[in-house]
């Protein structure tokens, strides 16, 4: 069990920011544990989701923004669907990783690289290009593709495209990303 | 019947090609008119909403605006991930501030509130299992035992998805029953398969997908049937990884529900795309024929080579 000195480390601004960005009332969580009981990812999390909620109530910003769980949540919506107090827990997990990104934390680097590679592909082509995403992921992680064994299974199926599908409005998509980045800087 | 604005989703052009072609063919056969959204773009999928909700909704909402050019009664998509992003965008844009922020990122703001539905919802509500069954009096899939797997986000959260039951959905069950197939009482219908972690954390995906495959096998299912491209890929392409994670052996075919509808409706082989599946579907059809023979039921003839 962890003991936290609330007086020394509770960040009230952080709690308020999470509430504002998620539209949820953090204090409404009464720690029933239903979210953790149903969360399929508890085995892989370093902090179970109900404890994420508790640490949030205690304003433990750094602990939460550097944890692995926020990167491993798949937004499967079990927690949100089953919360007896109607807290949108999955949305809070999303908001925590938005904040972690903005503060420069990524404790599951491979996950972030994969998601970034996906979005780069969308920004460049307007649609996601599966093979291109994989290539970027391999290049950026420096990992030889650990899924090499899947190649012989999927390649003969003729499903993986070797060229991206460029849309006509690709510039409109690039502008969505540009404007978003400008907004974030301002 | 009215026209539906159709959003195929990126994987429909790649790894879930057979889902797209079978979906289009089944809709045509059942009298639903689909019109592709002109120059549609990626919905942002999981990665976008992990970065920012305005960005995510803007990527999805561009397609809502593009669909306004079609005289459609609803926007429909086969993919639950696209569905959730599109529906979430519509849901969050009911808030005026949020809507303004999204529209600011778009060259063309969203003006109409077009209803967004899954193809599954339209097949169940606008055609219906009864109509489907009446077209197939010979119960072409009788003897086939299926584990229906919906994936985690087709029905959740219920406030946003507004279709079927969030814990125990039955839409796909009812369509499969209408084809004559049996469905096993699959308890993990909405349990996550590991989603998009297949590449960066395949250990997680293998364990979660393994649990689904194991449960389907232990219930005696001949095959699993899904409505999600990512679930299908995790369960089918990555089946050996899931088996090693659990120390078991699987040979579980994983169909898209539209493929089985297309088989039952005797649609052409090239649109059904059974040859696009990794685990051979013939194992399931062989089990089906055996069950039929044991029940003294005649074998139906199929246009697709299911032997």
Nearest to A160 among B14, B197, B200 (CB): B14
Do B152 and A153 lie within an 8 Å CB cutoff? no
Residues of chain B with CATH 1.20.1050.140: 3-119
Query: What are the tens digits of pLDDT across the range B14-26?
Result: 999 999 999 999 9
**What is the pTM assigned to this prediction?**
0.96
Q: Tell me what pLDDT residue B299 has.
A: 77
CA distances from B199 to A70, A118, A143, A150, B247 (A): 17, 12, 11, 11, 21
Handedness of CA B271, B272, B278, B280 (dihedral sign): negative
CA distance A5 to chain B (A): 31
* pLDDT tops 80 at residue A1: no
- Two tokens, residue B273: 């795309």
CB contact under 8 A, A180 and B105: yes
- All structural domains of chain A, each given as residue ranges with its CATH number in brackets, are 6-102 (1.10.1060), 109-180 (no CATH)
pLDDT of residue B1: 61
| pLDDT given for residue B297 in this prediction | 83
Per-residue tokens: B160: 């946003």
Which pLDDT belongs to residue A3?
86
Report pLDDT for B164.
Answer: 98
pLDDT of res. B177: 98
Residue B304 has pLDDT above 70, yes or no: no
Number of Cβ within 10 Å of residue A31's Cβ equals 12
Q: How much is the pLDDT for A143?
A: 78
Mutate to test the interface with B, among A73, A105, A118 (most CBs of B within 10 A): A118
The reply to whether residue B41 touches residue A77, judged by beta carbons under 8 angstroms, is no
CB contact under 8 A, B50 and A94: yes
Report the share of chain A in percent with pLDDT over 70.
98
* Contact residues on chain B for A111, CB-CB shorter than 8 A: 197, 200-201
Q: Which candidate, B183, B255, B230, B237, places its Cα nearest to that of B26? A: B255
- pLDDT score at B305: 58
- Is residue A172 over pLDDT 60? yes
CATH fold of B3-119 reads: Glutathione S-transferase Yfyf (Class Pi); Chain A, domain 2 (1.20.1050)
pLDDT, residue B137, reads 95
Q: Is B15 left (phi over 0), alpha (psi -120 to 50) or beta?
A: alpha
Among A40, A126, A168, select the one facing B208 at the smallest CB separation: A40
Q: What is the 3-state secondary structure (H, E, C) of chain B?
A: CCEEEECCCHHHHCCCHHHHHHHHHHHHHCCCEEEECCCCCCCCHHHHHHHCHHHHHHHHHHHHHHHCCCCCCEEEECCHHHHHHHHHHHHHCCCHHHHHHHHHHCCCCCCCCCCEEEHHHHHHHHHCHHHHHHHCCCCCCCCCEEEEECCCCCCCCHHHHCCCCCCCCCHHHHHHHHCCCEECCCCCCCCCCCHHHHCCCHHHHHHHHHHHHHHHHHCCCCEEEECCHHHHHHHHCCHHHHHHHHCCCCCCCEEEHHHHHHHHCCCCHHHHCHHHCCCCCHHHHHHHHHHHHHCCCCCCCCCCCCC
- Label residue A161 by pLDDT band (50, 70, 90): confident
Probe site for chain A from B42, B62, B95, B198 (most A CB atoms < 10 A)? B42
As annotated, the residues of chain B forming the CATH 3.40.50.11810 domain(s) are 137-294
Interval B82-116: pLDDT, tens:
999 999 999 999 999 999 999 999 999 999 989 99
Residue of B253, B307, B249, B242 whose CA lies nearest to B280:
B253
Q: What is the pLDDT of residue A4?
A: 86
Give pLDDT tens digits for B256-275.
999 999 999 999 999 999 99
Optimal mutation site among B13, B20, B36, B47, interface A, most CBs of chain A within 10 A: B47
Average of pLDDT values for B277-289? 96
Instruction: Confirm if B83 and B151 have CB atoms less than 8 A apart.
Output: no
Q: What is the pLDDT of residue A2?
A: 79
When pLDDT is cut at 50, 70 and 90, the band that residue B234 belongs to is: very high
The string of pLDDT tens digits covering residues A43-76 is 999 999 999 999 999 999 999 999 999 999 999 9
What's the whole-number mean pLDDT along residues B27-46?
97
| B230: pLDDT strictly greater than 80 | yes
pLDDT of residue B240: 96
Share of chain B above pLDDT 70, in %: 98
Architecture of domain B137-294: 3-Layer(aba) Sandwich (3.40)
Sign of CA dihedral B269, A148, A136, A66: positive
In this prediction, residue B302 carries a pLDDT of 76
Give the pLDDT score at B160.
97
Which pLDDT value is given to residue B298?
A: 79
Higher pLDDT, B296 or B252: B252
- Residues A60, A61, A64, CA angle at the centre, nearest 5°? 85
Mean pLDDT for the stretch of residues B108-132:
96
| Size of chain B in residues | 307
Split at pLDDT 50, 70, 90, the class of A79 is very high
Q: Provide the 8-state DSSP code for A162.
A: S
Q: What angle do CA A15, A21, A23 make, to 5 degrees?
A: 90
Residue B246: predicted pLDDT: 97
């Amino acid at each position: 069990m962890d003991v936290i000195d609330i007086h020394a480390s509770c960040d009230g601004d952080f709690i308020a920011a999470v509430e504002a960005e998620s539209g949820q009332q953090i204090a409404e969580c009464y720690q029933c544990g239903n979210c953790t009981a149903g969360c399929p990812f508890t085995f892989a999390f370093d902090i179970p989701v109900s404890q994420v909620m508790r640490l949030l109530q205690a304003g433990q910003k750094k602990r939460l923004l550097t944890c692995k769980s926020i990167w491993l949540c798949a937004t499967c919506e079990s927690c949100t669907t089953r919360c007896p107090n109607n807290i949108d827990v999955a949305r809070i997990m999303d908001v925590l990783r938005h904040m972690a990104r903005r503060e420069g934390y990524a404790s599951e680097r491979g996950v972030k690289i994969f998601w970034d590679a996906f979005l780069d592909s969308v920004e460049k082509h307007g649609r996601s290009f599966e093979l291109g995403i994989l290539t970027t992921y391999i290049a950026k992680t420096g990992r030889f593709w650990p899924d090499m064994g899947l190649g012989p299974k999927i390649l003969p199926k003729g499903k993986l495209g070797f060229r991206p599908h460029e849309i006509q409005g690709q510039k409109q998509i690039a502008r969505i990303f540009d404007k978003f980045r400008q907004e974030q800087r301002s | 019947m009215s026209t539906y604005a159709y959003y195929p989703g990126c994987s429909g052009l790649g790894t879930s090609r057979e889902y797209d072609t079978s979906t289009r063919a089944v809709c045509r056969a059942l009298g639903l008119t689909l019109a592709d959204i002109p120059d549609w773009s990626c919905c942002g999928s999981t990665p976008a909403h992990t970065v920012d909700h305005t960005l995510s909704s803007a990527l999805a909402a561009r397609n809502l605006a593009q669909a306004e050019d079609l005289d459609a009664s609803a926007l429909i998509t086969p993919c639950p991930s696209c569905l959730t992003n599109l529906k979430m965008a519509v849901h969050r844009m009911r808030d005026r501030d949020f809507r303004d922020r999204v529209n600011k990122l778009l060259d063309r703001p969203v003006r109409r509130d077009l209803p967004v539905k899954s193809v599954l919802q339209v097949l169940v509500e606008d055609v219906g299992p009864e109509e489907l069954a009446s077209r197939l009096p010979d119960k072409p899939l009788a003897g086939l035992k299926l584990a229906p797997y919906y994936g985690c986000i087709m029905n959740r959260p219920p406030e946003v998805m507004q279709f079927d039951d969030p814990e125990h959905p039955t839409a796909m069950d009812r369509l499969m029953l209408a084809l004559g197939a049996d469905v096993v009482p699959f308890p993990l219908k909405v349990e996550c398969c590991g989603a998009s972690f297949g590449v960066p954390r395949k250990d997680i995906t293998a364990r979660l997908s393994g649990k689904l495959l194991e449960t389907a096998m232990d219930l005696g299912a001949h095959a699993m049937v899904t409505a999600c491209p990512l679930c299908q890929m995790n369960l089918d392409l990555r089946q050996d990884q899931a088996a090693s994670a659990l120390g078991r052996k699987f040979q579980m075919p994983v169909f898209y529900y539209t493929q089985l509808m297309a088989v039952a409706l005797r649609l052409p082989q090239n649109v059904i795309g059974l040859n696009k599946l990794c685990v051979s579907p013939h194992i399931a059809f062989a089990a089906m024929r055996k069950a039929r023979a044991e029940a003294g039921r005649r074998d139906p003839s199929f246009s697709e080579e299911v032997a």
